[in-house]
Structure 1
Amino acid sequence: MAAKQVLEDSVCCTIGTGADTSVWDDVWIPEEVARPARRAQLEVDKDLKVHHLIDPDSKEWKPELLEEFIHTDDIQRNLEIKISKSGRKDGYCWKHSKSGHYTVRTGYDIAVKQRRKNHFAPMTEPSITPLKQKQVTTANPQGDAQIFPWLMWYVWKARNEKCFNAKDISPLDTIQLARHEAETWRIAQIGDKLYETSDEEQTEHQSRARDTLVAEKRFRCLVDVSWSDKDDWMGMGFVLTEGEVVILQGQKCAPRTQAPINAEASGLILAMQETRDRGFDGVNFGSDC
């Protein structure tokens, strides 16, 4: 139940074509907790989709329809949402990561914060990390001594299956699983040592190739944006240099986008359009995203 609440509070629909998103049922209005749009009138079409509010030719919002159906306080938030120009399907955005994609780490952090806020004591399982470390430092363990940490782990898991799922796991299966995991882990440690040097050489080669490609570019353009979920507007700016000489600068204020990653993309698009319109080729673009 806790995980469900975290998802409900942290996910927002992203608008591509708008064909799959309900205006009144789906959480597509970006706020601290995303929500459906509020109505401008009591009687509305319950099947209204977001794409009905979008001009199919220009791929822009229809202001007259927004004013007719959407509450005045939500119209500005509508205009902040960027509509796909390429026909991308609607999706979902995880608001706790810069990329908009869900990660286990951010999901866990939010769940822990919510549990602490509700004063629930965290439920944890025993850790076998100290046992693994002891296993590594033991000189040439023999026989079943090698599988002891994994055996304890799978005994614990079998106990949980019995208590919570009424599922019986035989002792033989538990031992076989522990032996398999122990052998897999032992081989992985050998593989890490074998490939450590090779990975370092590959990384160095890729770094040199990347540096060479950047050096071939004559111009360098650095892009940055100012974005806050507490503001209705955001700022974008770029600086174009040739060597150490600044030859072009630009900045623009625009309605705040749905997520920081969208703001970075808007800043890059602005810089690319301005440099292209002025005839600059061979530009290396950089951002802190």
Structure 2
Amino acid sequence: MAARPLLISGLRKTIGAGQNTCVWTEPWIPDIDARPPRPAERVTYRDPKLLVHSFIRRDIRDWDTNLLLDYFHPEDIPLILKLRPSNTWSMDGYAWNYTKSGVYSVKSGYARLQKIKMCEAEDQVLQPSITGLQSHEWSIPAPGKMKHFMWQALTGCIATTERLACRHLSTDRSCPRCGDSEETINHLLFECPPALQVWALSDYPSLPGYFPSTSVYQNMNLLFRRKRNVAYMEPLIETFPWILWYIWKARNEKVFNGKEISPGDTLQLASIEAECWRKANLPEDGEEDELQPAPSRVSTLPVNPQCPTCQIDASWVDNGTVSGLGWFYKDQMGVERFGLQGCRKSLSALHAEMEGLIWALFCLREVQCTVIHMETDCSDLVDMIANPTDWPAFASELASFRLLRAGFQDFSIAHIPRARNVRADSLAEARNSGVLFSHIDQIQPDRASLRNASRPTTT
């Protein structure tokens, strides 16, 4: 398979029990690019057969922090602690490191391939690049054929006499409109007298030696980036794609039909066509209100209306050290319970949401709850529960969830708007205290109580 080397280069080992992952030779550290860990300075010999499970305590099924400090580089330890070993001692697996689900996608694979090519270019020469121009022109509001034409102008793919001669398809390089010695793409669009007159009549300011210039790249860049220059007076509509297109059309009328089209007629036709295209692509009255967002890929498990309800949420920031978990429970008799926890920072925001679900189920099981309907404002979490095989990056967490789920006679989960999840959200925000704690109560804590609860670890 041609893509096999690319796929292998982007895989990361997911840690379950750590029993089939070699510490020093396999990529299990969740960095930007998955890699093996770096050793501590005192480590002089790296046993190639040493397994990750040697650093997991069997009594608490969590990392042995003392061993981590002894063996691994200090900068790698926070990355390791973000990984949660499986409570069920499941086998280690593989996940694609460049998507949140761990499933390979063509988009992420292409981005990975481009990055590899950049790294392999050891003798790169710094020089002007037209990649930015080529990328920007596809975002210009204009018909597709005109975007393609501008792309051809930037890449030298327009059939001017000079380009045809370079490809040995012609010997005449002269301009068929003005008789100049060479018809380059820049000459055709910007320097030929009829083209110069079109730009002079347009709303685009002509500055001698600046626009139009002798470089097609500079001219196109000025048209693309013109809004950034406060000295330019912006016309009512951006007509330059049509102007470029009809300059080319007028040139072809001269070459193939012997027909002269004046610069004024060229500009008028370009302006009319641009305005017609704009009007045809404006949303009709009321159309914006009728447009509904595309349905997300969220599956909702069946709901029992008699079930007690538990809303869950998590709080996670990239530069933080603690993740916040919160849940709010209410049964059919009106009995309420609340839980909030500041825990060790998770690998990602979605990992924190999954940990919040697992912790809530654990707490509810401890109070003999066997029927529950969960609600979350994270649609990915609902999809993960409904389609676990689509989320290999969460294999360890899903194994822990399945173990807890088996203790409930009836379980369901649904997605709700964030505005309906404010209680769990406010509880999860307790991670702002920056300390590790756990608190469960039947009375919803106020802000002062949250500060007090975040001091010792209690249940």
TM-score normalised by L of structure 2: 0.37
- Which of 314, 324, 344 pairs up with 1:235? 324
Equivalent residue number for residue 359 of structure 2: 270
Q: Distance between the aligned counterparts of 1:274 and 1:50, measured in 2?
A: 29
Equivalent residue number for residue 20 of structure 1: 20
C-alpha distance 246-104 of structure 1, shift in aligned 2 (>3 A): farther
Equivalent residue number for residue 37 of structure 1: 37
Q: CA deviation at 1:80?
A: 2.1
TM-score normalised by L of structure 1: 0.56
Q: Distance between the aligned counterparts of 1:116 and 1:50, measured in 2?
A: 32
C-alpha distance 257-92 of structure 1, shift in aligned 2 (>3 A): farther
| One-letter amino acid matched to 1:43 | T
Q: Distance between the aligned counterparts of 1:111 and 1:64, measured in 2?
A: 35
Superposition map of 1:91-170 within 5 A: 91-104=93-106, 106-108=108-110, 110-111=111-112, 114=115
Aligned residues: 200
Identity within the alignment, %: 28
Q: Distance between the aligned counterparts of 1:96 and 1:243, measured in 2?
A: 43
Equivalent residue number for residue 306 of structure 2: 216
| One-letter amino acid matched to 1:241 | K
Structure 1 unpaired stretches of 5+ = 123-206
Superposition map of 1:176-255 within 5 A: 213-217=303-307, 219-242=308-331, 247-255=336-344
Task: Say whether 1:73 aligns with 2:109.
Answer: no
Q: Distance between the aligned counterparts of 2:305 and 2:345, measured in 1?
A: 34
| One-letter amino acid matched to 2:311 | L
| One-letter amino acid matched to 2:23 | V
Partners of 1:100 and 1:259 within 8 A in 2? no
CA-to-partner distance for each residue in 1:183-217, whole Å, 9 max, x for gaps? xxxxxxxxxxxxxxxxxxxxxxxx9x965x42131
Partners of 2:326 and 2:339 within 8 A in 1? yes
C-alpha distance 241-104 of structure 1, shift in aligned 2 (>3 A): farther
Task: Say whether 1:285 aligns with 2:379.
Answer: no
C-alpha distance 12-268 of structure 1, shift in aligned 2 (>3 A): same
Q: Distance between the aligned counterparts of 2:117 and 2:335, measured in 1?
A: 50
Equivalent residue number for residue 85 of structure 2: 83
User: What's the secondary structure of 1:73's corresponding residue?
Assistant: coil
Q: Distance between the aligned counterparts of 1:232 and 1:100, measured in 2?
A: 24
Q: CA deviation at 1:57?
A: 4.2
User: What's the secondary structure of 1:44's corresponding residue?
Assistant: coil
| One-letter amino acid matched to 2:77 | I
User: What's the secondary structure of 1:250's corresponding residue?
Assistant: strand
C-alpha distance 104-216 of structure 1, shift in aligned 2 (>3 A): farther
Q: Distance between the aligned counterparts of 1:286 and 1:26, measured in 2?
A: 38
Q: CA deviation at 1:17?
A: 1.9
| One-letter amino acid matched to 1:102 | Y
| One-letter amino acid matched to 1:49 | L
User: What's the secondary structure of 2:76's corresponding residue?
Assistant: helix
C-alpha distance 115-51 of structure 1, shift in aligned 2 (>3 A): closer
Structure 2 unpaired stretches of 5+ = 120-130, 136-298, 382-459
> Which has more radius of gyration?
2
C-alpha distance 68-238 of structure 1, shift in aligned 2 (>3 A): same
Q: CA deviation at 1:243?
A: 6.5
Partners of 1:13 and 1:93 within 8 A in 2? yes
Equivalent residue number for residue 186 of structure 2: none
| One-letter amino acid matched to 1:92 | Y
User: What's the secondary structure of 1:276's corresponding residue?
Assistant: helix
Q: Distance between the aligned counterparts of 1:59 and 1:84, measured in 2?
A: 7
Name the structure with the higher helix share.
1
Partners of 2:24 and 2:46 within 8 A in 1? no
Q: Distance between the aligned counterparts of 1:244 and 1:113, measured in 2?
A: 58
- Which of 55, 58, 61 pairs up with 2:57? 55
Q: Distance between the aligned counterparts of 1:99 and 1:268, measured in 2?
A: 17
Partners of 1:12 and 1:95 within 8 A in 2? yes
User: What's the secondary structure of 2:67's corresponding residue?
Assistant: helix
Q: Distance between the aligned counterparts of 2:11 and 2:348, measured in 1?
A: 12
